[in-house]
Amino acid sequence: MDRLISLEPSNLVAIRIEPGQKCYGELTLRNVMYTMPIAIRMLPVNKGRYTVKPQSGIIVPLGTLTVEIVYHLPPGSLLPDSFPYSDDSFHLHSVVVPGRRSKIRGIKIMFVGSPVLVQLVMDGSMERIREVLELSDPTWKLADSVDSRGQTLLHIAITQRRPDIVRLLLEFEPDVEFRCRSDSTPLGAAASCGEELIVELLLAHNASTERCESSRSGPVHLAAAGGHVEVLRLLLLKGANIDSLTNDGNTALHLAVKAGRKDCVRLLLGNGSKPDVRNTRNGDTPLHIAARLGDEQTVKLLLQNGAYKDNRNKAGKAAYDVAAEHGHTCLFDALKLGDSLCLAARKGEAGTIQRLIKDGAAINGMDQHGWTALHRAAFKGRTDAVRMLIDKGIDIDSKDEDGYTALHCAVESGHAEGVELLVKKGADVEARTNKGVTALQIADSL
């Protein structure tokens, strides 16, 4: 027999390193002799760095002795000089009582624990991370290790943009809902970083898409604010509540508008986000925010998707008032003057039309159906309004969403004087609707 002692579970001893705790591991020595006791003595080569308890003893035939190996961290250090594998070695002497001697030199040390794993994840050491986790006792739950800032290994890997490490960590079943000190879950962190693959991995492990009560924002809010449209799409496909609120009552749409993330605004509106939700801080809707920023494109996008322009915030202001307060005259037509211009055209108030255009109303502005003020005036037979609008330079052949010009409208509504004026002013009598119908054909059908 070459050896008198076997080492269990192997000759590799895991010593767990944790801040403020004793650093130690255990090794079980088994007497493989059937009839004779074995005397053992185990000593570290570096006696100042390790303590072995007990250093010596007698093991009965086929019996075992568990030895505790304590590691003494260098003063002021959180980690050993070398890790996860130690450069240190141990000598194990054994002797049959009385009889032959044996010496084992192959005892190795691997350091495990939170600080070790944190550093390995930061270093991106895939192989070493796996080795440490596989050697560690599952009850320690080292996959949930945190650093000094309260970030888990998943958070660190996400910050490092390492989906490969995230995938590895997920094999060891970490808590995917663990919140770091900033109250962000791993999914929230991945959504904030725009890490699409990591988001997919976490969702596959049933990470919650919703904001937890103590968190300021949820994953959809973080993705929308960051402009990460594909991440946002993934979250919505997974069933995330599109209109869930942050702790101050903002929806993802509020945040996307505020950050100028137009792709996210379109995605949210296209998936049914409500454009008229007021936040709890000041009662602003997304339209108020877009008006405050002077974001003409987003204002129009919100209005096209049903935003109500007369909603008032806690200060009693509509979006138009907010735009006026900040000097965003480019929004006046969309938020108020355009409505007033169409109303004046419908009523035939030529003087009001002249004043509104002077004040900045967009003469060629359209409603949600593509009607300009000229369409409305022509349909209602308001000849003076038609003349005023044409004289002020309105596009006489502008078409609505069905391809109707003002001339089509005047003919269809039977206002001969308006038809005559439009033709005299140069309206295209051959213009066709989307169905290929001219104004003359409409007249013939009446």
Task: Collect all residues with Cβ–Cβ distance below 8 Å to 440 and sequence separation of at least 6.
Answer: 411, 429
Reference 60, options 35, 91, 77; nearest CA is: 35
For the chain, domains (ranges, CATH) are 5-111 (2.60.40.10), 337-445 (1.25.40.20)
CA Rg, the chain, in Å?
A: 38
Pair type for strands 50-53 and 64-71: antiparallel
The answer to whether the CB of 285 falls within 8 A of the CB of 276 is yes
**Torsions phi, psi of 182, nearest 5?**
-85, 5
Q: What is the pLDDT of residue 312?
A: 93
The answer to whether the CB of 46 falls within 8 A of the CB of 88 is yes
Task: Collect all residues with Cβ–Cβ distance below 8 Å to 181 and sequence separation of at least 6.
Answer: 149, 150, 151
Q: Sign of torsion, CA 217 223 224 227? A: positive
Per-residue pLDDT tens for 396-429?
999 999 999 999 999 999 999 999 999 999 999 9
Q: What is the pLDDT of residue 184?
A: 86
Question: Which structure tokens are listed for 365?
Answer: 């502005």
Q: What is the pLDDT of residue 148?
A: 85
> Alpha-carbon distance 64 to 54, whole Å?
13
Q: Is 182 helix (H, G, I), strand (E, B) or coil?
A: coil
Query: Would you say the pTM of this structure is higher than 0.95?
Result: no
- Count the neighbouring beta carbons within 10 Å of the beta carbon of residue 359: 14
Q: For residues 152, 157, 159 and 162, what is the CA-based torsion angle, rounded to 10 degrees?
A: -170
Q: What is the pLDDT along the chain (446 residues), one digit of tens a residue?
A: 347 888 888 889 999 999 889 999 999 999 998 888 989 899 888 888 999 999 999 999 999 999 999 999 988 888 888 899 998 888 888 888 655 555 656 788 999 999 999 999 999 999 999 999 999 988 999 998 988 888 999 999 999 999 999 999 999 999 999 888 777 899 999 999 999 999 999 999 999 998 877 778 899 999 999 999 999 999 999 999 999 999 889 999 999 999 999 999 999 999 999 999 999 989 999 999 999 999 999 999 998 898 888 899 999 999 989 999 999 988 887 787 667 888 889 899 999 999 888 877 778 888 768 889 999 999 999 999 999 999 999 999 999 999 999 999 999 999 999 999 999 999 999 999 999 999 999 998 87
Q: Sign of torsion, CA 248 254 260 264? A: positive
Distance of CA 5 to the CA centre of its chain: 56
The answer to whether the CB of 249 falls within 8 A of the CB of 285 is no
Length of the chain: 446
Amino acid at 279: N
DSSP string for 381-437: T-HHHHHHHHHTT--TT---TT---HHHHHHHTT-HHHHHHHHHTT--TT---TTS-
Q: What is the pLDDT of residue 225?
A: 96
> Alpha-carbon distance 30 to 8, whole Å?
7
Residue labelled with tokens 């013939």: 444
The answer to whether the CB of 65 falls within 8 A of the CB of 29 is yes
Reference 85, options 36, 49, 135; nearest CA is: 135
Q: What is the pLDDT of residue 102?
A: 56
CA distances from 320 to 116, 251, 294, 370 (A): 58, 21, 11, 21
Reference 208, options 198, 218, 221; nearest CA is: 218
Q: What is the pLDDT of residue 342?
A: 84
Residue labelled with tokens 């072995």: 52
Q: What is the pLDDT of residue 2?
A: 46
Question: Which structure tokens are listed for 24?
Answer: 């130690």
Per-residue pLDDT tens for 333-390?
778 766 788 888 989 999 999 988 887 777 888 876 888 999 999 999 999 999 999 9
Q: For residues 251, 255, 261 and 262, what is the CA-based torsion angle, rounded to 10 degrees?
A: 40
Helix (H) or strand (E) holding 444: helix 439-445
Q: Is 309 helix (H, G, I), strand (E, B) or coil?
A: coil
> Alpha-carbon distance 218 to 239, whole Å?
13
Question: Which structure tokens are listed for 403?
Answer: 């391809």
Q: For residues 123, 128, 134 and 139, what is the CA-based torsion angle, rounded to 10 degrees?
A: -30
Q: What is the pLDDT of residue 104?
A: 59
The answer to whether the CB of 92 falls within 8 A of the CB of 40 is yes
- Count the neighbouring beta carbons within 10 Å of the beta carbon of residue 276: 14
